[in-house]
Structure 1
Amino acid sequence: MQKDKQNDASWQSSVNEIETLIREYGNDVLRTAYMYVKDAHVAEDIFQEVFIKVYKNLSTFVGNSSIKTWIIRITINTCKDYLKSAYNRRVVPMTDYREDAISTESDYDEVEKRDTNHLIKEAVLSLPAKYRDVVMCVYFNDMSIAETAKVLNIAEGTAKSRLARARQKLKDVLEGRVSDEF
């Protein structure tokens, strides 16, 4: 009976810890997953899978990096596994269709902001993986260069140079798209 109470207390402590991690890092995980898989429903599935992995492996976390870095690394690896999977290569995603109705100035501003965000997201997604990964860590997950280097298993200098190259590539892509529109 005493052992059951200890197990229940231990289990409840783990659940509380996972809930805290989900509240603290859940948005980062979901955003990272979405940027990789480009599908909200799949990103939500990956989110769940990531936190199941975190729950199962939390006792193995040794603290060589921050918990956020560890969780984002799990997220990136889970996304890469999904993208390599046979299931992903065979399934054709359905896209949501929605017509934008613009009736006021604020509606126009909102649509313009959404279009700009979409343009930037598409530009980031068009980058080669080594640059996209650095941009996502630094700008979308608010990681430092040191944390980014740990997550991606690269040297800090490499992370800095990839970020600089990624910025230049983004600038070239975005300036090219903007000049094409006018």
Structure 2
Amino acid sequence: MNVDAEKHYVRYLAPGCDRDLVLEDLMTAYGEDVWNFAFFLTRRADAAGDISQDVFLIVYNRLYAFRGECSIKSWILGITRNKALNYRKNAFIRKVTLTGAWVPEPDRSPSAEQTAFRKLAARELWERVMALPMKFREAVILAYHLDLPIGEIAAALQVSEGTVKSRLYRAKRKMAALLEAETRGE
């Protein structure tokens, strides 16, 4: 969704607008990003689905509270982050969480060999990302998977832009160290 579309929502979010249509548009535009972000934070597909539903219920109920201080996308992803963190805080869920789940990449039509190598490389990369501590993982996902600018990441994570830059830098260093250790066979 582009900036003009963002302004469109801000301008028309007033009592009396058709929230159902606005919510449908937002779910179409950001539903996949919300699910992916929730999945990357919780590592569970079932939790990501539940969190996505909760997020859009909150968006629907708070639609008129959106003040336009950040983009709608970062506002929605901030809600997603909070719901995912609350989910992870639940002691029972922490004890039962299974790891190793992976969401397959959508199939495309290059050669089968190219597709297999691309999927393997992407899977290995995202497995490294998933091994990062939460604060680095969420910054990497927002920056490189969801393409948010630093300012919007800061708004979604409720931290300063400097903190986001630091987390991204440290995440890159950690991933480089992991890759180097794997190359050496450790």
Structure 1 length as normaliser, TM-score?
Answer: 0.80
DSSP 3-state at the match of 2:181: helix
**Residue 152 (structure 1) aligned to one of 150, 153, 157:** 157
Deviation of 1:177 (Å): 2.3
Task: Provide the C-alpha distance between the structure 2 equivalents of 1:89 and 1:156, rounded to a whole number of angstroms.
Answer: 30
Residue 128, structure 1, aligned to residue 133, structure 2? yes
Q: 5+ residue gaps in structure 2?
A: 1-14, 102-109
- Matched with 2:11 is none
Q: 1:114 pairs with 116, 119, 127, which one? A: 119
On the 8 A contact 2:150/2:165 being kept in 1, the answer is yes
Consecutive unaligned residues of structure 1, counting only runs of 5 or more, are 1-8, 97-104
Q: CA deviation at 1:92?
A: 5.3
Structure 2 distance, partners of 1:90, 1:127, is: 19
Q: Distance in 1 between matches of 2:24 and 2:183?
A: 43
| Alpha-carbon offset, residue 41 of structure 1 | 2.3
- Show CA shifts across 1:27-83 (max 9, x none): 210110111111222211211111111111111111111111110000011111111
For residue 44 of structure 1, the aligned residue among 40, 49, 66 is 49
Alignment of 1:1-40 (within 5 A): 10=16, 13-40=18-45
* Residue 74 of structure 1 pairs with residue 66 of structure 2: no
Moved more, 17-26 or 120-129: 120-129
Question: Kindly, what percent of the aligned residue pairs are identical?
Answer: 36
* Cα deviation code 1:84-131 (max 9, x no counterpart): 1244135455987xxxxxxxx933332222221111111111112221
The aligned counterpart of 2:60 is 55
Tell me which structure has the larger Cα radius of gyration: 1
Aligned residues: 165
Q: Which has the higher helix share?
A: 1
**Aligned CA-pair RMSD:** 2.6
